[in-house]
Structure 1
Amino acid sequence: MALNSSATSGSPVKTITTRILIVQVSIAVFLSINFLLISTFFRKDTFYTTMRYILFAVTLLADCLFLIMSNALLVSAYFNFTMQIWLCCIVYTILSVYALVTPITLTVMSLERYVAICMPLRHAELCTMRGAVQLILIIHSISAVPCTVNLSIFSATVSSNLYSNSRLCFREMFVLFPWQDHLNSAMNQFYFLIMLSVIIFSYVQIMKAAKAASGENKKSTWKGLRTVILHAFQLLLCLIQLWCPFVEDAVYKIDMSLHRDIRYFNYVTFSLASRCLSPLIYGLRDELFFQALKSYAFCRLYRKSPV
């Protein structure tokens, strides 16, 4: 929504104000939970030396940055605040990259569960801290491809004097030609198919391992399978977000009022809701992390309570 924002002066002030307040409260709640989880992550050596927890922290940090930046653009568009185009390029880059970091990281986390369950003897060799750092660099590099393409076309087309101009910041200003929409659509479809294929592959392989396992191994395998299913659901919400701009652009040509409603629904459902599932998947379902979180939260409450 924030990347596609423009002035909304034609809409009822009361309705927009209510929606803005709902978004602000939701983001404040999500950020508070995420910051608590991030603080818990850095309190135990086990967490930042284990790949799945490192990747979990990457999703939390990516979600926090995305929510803060997208909300800043949402508010600036609502109040018609402009910014210089060079600054808008930086904001657009950050939002574009971190909109993809979360779904790609979720895909990698599903692969990590596949390795842990189906290739347990190689898990310690493959899933190291060094491997985690390399994966984080690869994830960010892959996430940066679409915005790098758009900014390269933009920079090669416009005059350098344009960067000092002030305008409302939104995604469409970097799409100068109709064929860019087709290019962006092709890249999004490619990302969608690759991530969906990886999720399905991980699910099928873990399902086979679950049927073949017995006793404690079977219980652990089914738990890993449920985690992959939750990853798949969260990933689905994140991937639908890739298609939202095309739906919004089509509705924009038909009805402005409907366009505003759909854009708001997409932002709340596929940007906010999808980014609140990570705490439920790992922050609450993982026993080790949950115990550390509970201990940390009770410790903070105890310190704040009067003697």
Structure 2
Amino acid sequence: ANGMTRPVNDRVIIVQILVIIFLCINMLLIVIFVKKESFHTSARYILFFVTLLSDSVLLLLSDVLLILTYFEITIQVWLCITISVVVLLYFIVTPVTLTAMTLERYVAICMPLRHGQLCSTHSTMYCILIIHVLSSGPCIIILSMFFASASLKFYKQSMICSVETFTLFRWQDHVRSAVYQLCFLIMGTTIAYSYVQIMKVAKAASGEKKKLTHKGLKTVILHAFQLLLCLIQLWCPFIEIAVLQIDFILFLNVRYFNYIIYFNYVIFNLAPKCLSPLIYGLRDEHFFLALKNLMTVKQIIGLFDTVHCRVFMQNVPE
């Protein structure tokens, strides 16, 4: 039966506070992008905006699934499929976008004469479309295996929604892991190749060009670190499989009921999806300056409102 069968404890509250904080940070960075028109013509910032949106959507939906799992609330399979399609898609969108951002730095440093043409605003819009098409590939594979194996009666059932809903047989789980590993291997190889090529340019460069290439190398390293954080989330199924081989009851505790679910969610979900955009946003001098100016404007407005309120109160007749 649906309903909250478990009491709300401190772990639930802490996780929800963290989710709200990270969502507010992402929303703040999104507002900065929207308000700063100069960001709208830069491929790097447009792609960064895509990562902010995808991470925010994934964070919100994964938190909803976590709450449903904790309180053992069942939903219709078709609704679970709808939510999971978005989760599966945007789970891949962020690392693919990071790879595209790395390629943008590669073009800017190794092919500077073609950067304006290849990384124009128009080309970036096409790039975003390509990112979503490529990211839908693993999602299509996973759903195709599920649709081919599930019976019609299964869609009419109600169950606790999770990724395991689409894993009816063990081989499907292996295929899903293999697809994700292949995707991240390709993206990791692309980032490594870009780093090597930029490093070659850095060795041959001098003066201002050398400073620019070293900054590009640091950016590529940051993208590699962000990709590693995204890769960490793939370790959750392997941890659960290892625990399942030890003891089934322990597996249930790990998967649904004890402290580990919150540890997994904070380490494998919150951190990759929120810390990396925050680090990237604060590291970029233009984004940090825009954030500083935004906060200054907010403080001025707040001070003005306070002064206006005091003057008004002084003029109110007794």
TM-score (norm 1): 0.89
**Matched residue count:** 297
Superposed counterparts of 1:71-110, under 5 Å = 71-110=63-102
Report if the CA contact (8 A) 2:195-2:220 is conserved.
Answer: yes
2:11 counterpart letter in structure 1: R
Aligned to 2:231: 239
- Tell me the secondary structure at the aligned position of residue 144 of structure 1: helix
2:268 equivalent in structure 1: 270
Q: Which structure would you say has the larger Rg?
A: 2
Conservation of the 8 A alpha-carbon contact between 2:25 and 2:278? no
Matching residue within 282, 291, 294 for 2:292 = 294
State the AA in 1 paired with 2:272: S
- SS for the counterpart of 1:253 is helix
Instruction: Name which of structure 1's ranges 45-54 and 140-149 shifts more when overlaid on structure 2.
Output: 140-149
Which blocks of at least 5 consecutive residues in structure 2 are unaligned? 308-318
CA RMSD of aligned residues (A): 2.2
Q: Say which is worse superposed, 296-305 or 202-211, in terms of deviation.
A: 296-305
Match of residue 124 from structure 1: 116
Q: Which residue identity lines up with residue 150 of structure 1 in the other structure?
A: I
CA contact (8 A) 1:60 1:278 kept: no
Aligned to 2:170: 178
Deviates more, 1:128-137 or 1:33-42: 128-137
| Among 152, 155, 165, the residue aligned to 2:144 | 152
Letter paired with 2:105: R
Write the letter of the residue equivalent to 1:284: L
Runs of 4+ residues over 4 Å off in structure 1: 257-263
Aligned AA (2:127): L
Give the distance between the partners of 1:207 and 1:263, measured in 2 at CA: 41
Partner SS for 2:233: helix
Q: Which runs of 5+ in 1 are unaligned?
A: 1-7
Bigger relative contact order (CA 8 A; separation at least 6): 1
Task: Determine the C-alpha separation between the residues in 1 that align with 2:234 and 2:166.
Answer: 17
SS in 1 for 2:9: helix
Alignment of 1:1-307 (within 5 A): 17-254=9-246, 255-256=250-251, 257=253, 260-305=258-303, 306-307=306-307
1:150 and 1:218 map into 2 onto residues whose CA distance is 45
Shift of 1:184: 1.1
Note the alpha carbon deviations across 1:90-145, whole angstroms, 9 max, x for none: 11111111111111111111111111111111111100122211211121122222
